[in-house]
Amino acid sequence: MRSTAAALLIGLSAVGCAPKTKYVVPAAATAPAFKENADWKTAQPADAVIRGAWWDTFGDPQLNALEARIDVSNESLKAAQARFDEARAAVRGARSGLYPQVTANPSIAAAQQSGNRANSSFHQAFGDFLLPVDVTYEADVWGRVRGTVAARRSEAEATAADLEAIGLSVHAELAVDYFALRGLDREHQLLESAVNAFAQALDLTQNRFRGGLASEADVAQAQTQLETTRAQDVDLGVQRAALEHAVAVLVGQPPSTFALAASPLASAPPAVPAGLPADLLERRPDIAAAERRAAAANAEIGVANAAFYPILSLTGSAGFESSSIATWISSASSLWSLVPSAVVNVFDAGRRRSVSDQARAAYEETAASYRETVLTALQEVEDELATLRVLDEEAAIQARAVDAAERSLTLATNRYRGGIVSYLEVIVAQNAALANERAAVNILTRRMAASVLLIKALGGGWNRSALHAVTSEP
């Protein structure tokens, strides 16, 4: 007993000599402000930062209803949730190594030895009733188990961030598809209006032809214009159907059972506060996932280094053994043993050094991946800010072009009615007016998509403080 206690004391005192791998978040390049945000949008107050259900910012009840279905029905999110549950279970498995393993192996045996066996003193049947309880415990002197727990916990946090990143991506994809579909509805509305106007123009031209005021060529041109516009209107159905099917899959519904009623896009996108570049380190789930994987790789270095030190373990056994069931559970039948042991790897031809070097290289890889993720996030925000800035300018210019085209069409129509010009001038003005109106709708659709992608690039209101909460009690 004294030798056992001494061995335990020596093992515990060695904890202070255990190898440690202190983790420091890899340094990543940021900037004091977004270049594309400096001159075109004033700073927003902190309470204007988008949080939670960011799609509410667009004020579209139907979009809100569709987004609410994603968390319940989307299969990509279900798969990500399953991966997170798997990672949480791995943390529990690693944490179990901090505690002793207790097993019981009761047995009842009957046997008879040969009387002619060498050194045999009897030839009769006997019983053996055994009830042992075995305890095995590895003293985590060098931090191998604790390092494994830390690595699994960090990986679980990374998986939780992956879940958030996938959720953000799916929600953003739905919003982009939704606004693209609504943009097509707006184009359909324009084309239908143009078809009605062109049909009236054809009637006018036919009446003028019958009255000898217009040529047959004018009638053919008017009819060509009408049918071409009808074909363009019908062609929109291909894109709309594909977008409707994409939305159906995102909300977890078969496309054949899903439909969205037409609702033309009309409202402009909301202002999105960008904040500061450094905020992305806390607001982007993919950055948080990359950083947590760097932490997990750092913990694995400690696990690999622990292999250079002896494995100290304590094995104990206690129970009862008797040849008769009547005396099985009694003090005279009790037994116990306590065996401290150490395993020292004397020679392994560099295997442990190789594992340690691999762990260090893996950490460097994850650190570089983290820095690359930060740079990519900064690029995405700058891209969407630039897109919104340019599209805002383009929308103002295009609005003036639409007004000018409408005036040109009105003048051309009046000149044609007065017999001053041919119908060709009217057709040119009609095409210009329709093309400019469709361009304005296209710009609005792109602005809506850019606003969604900017919110996604900013993290969608997520904050990494939520990570510890979801992984603290796996």
- Mapping DSSP to helix (H, G, I), strand (E, B) and coil, where does residue 275 land? coil
Q: Has residue 82 been placed in a domain? A: yes
Tell me which residue has tokens 């340094």. 27
Strand 311-322 versus strand 107-112 pairing type: unpaired
DSSP 353-413: HHHHHHHHHHHHHHHHHHHHHHHHHHHHHHHHHHHHHHHHHHHHHHHHHHHHHHHHHHHHH
Neighbours of 115 (CB within 10 A): 10
Rg (CA), the chain: 38
Q: Has residue 129 been placed in a domain? A: no
What crossing angle do the helices spanning 75-95 and 61-73 adopt, rounded to 10°? 40
Range of the domain at 452: 26-99+142-309+351-471
* Domains: count for the chain: 1
- Mapping DSSP to helix (H, G, I), strand (E, B) and coil, where does residue 38 land? coil
Q: Has residue 334 been placed in a domain? A: no
Q: Has residue 122 been placed in a domain? A: no
Neighbours of 325 (CB within 10 A): 10
CA distances to 34, 347, 398, 450, 457 from 287, rounded to whole Å, are 18, 41, 38, 21, 11
Q: Has residue 296 been placed in a domain? A: yes
Task: Per residue of the chain (474 residues), give pLDDT as tens.
Answer: 455 445 444 444 444 455 567 888 898 888 887 887 765 444 444 444 566 689 999 999 999 999 999 988 888 888 988 988 888 888 888 888 888 999 888 888 887 776 666 665 666 676 788 888 989 988 888 888 888 898 999 999 999 999 999 999 999 999 999 999 999 999 999 999 999 999 998 998 899 888 888 888 889 989 999 999 999 999 999 999 999 999 999 999 999 999 999 999 988 898 888 888 888 888 899 999 999 999 999 999 999 998 888 888 889 898 888 888 888 888 888 888 888 888 888 888 888 899 999 999 999 999 999 999 999 999 999 999 999 999 999 999 999 999 999 999 999 989 888 888 888 888 899 999 999 999 999 999 999 999 999 999 999 888 887 776 665 554
Q: Has residue 117 been placed in a domain? A: no
Q: Has residue 238 been placed in a domain? A: yes
Q: Which two tokens stand for residue 356?
A: 């340690």
Strand 125-139 versus strand 101-104 pairing type: antiparallel
- The CA-based diameter of the chain, rounded to the nearest angstrom, is 138
* Verdict on whether the full-model pTM lies above 0.75: yes
Residue type, 187: E
Please tell me what DSSP assigns to residue 289: H
Burial class (CB in 10 A: 0-12, 13-18, 19+), 384: buried
Rounded Cα distance, 5 and 310, in Å: 18
Q: Has residue 163 been placed in a domain? A: yes
Rounded Cα distance, 211 and 220, in Å: 16
* Domain containing residue 217: CATH number: 1.20.1600.10
Half-sphere exposure of 171 (CA within 13 A, CB side): 27
Instruction: Give the closest residue to 422 by CA, choosing from 221, 226, 197.
Output: 221
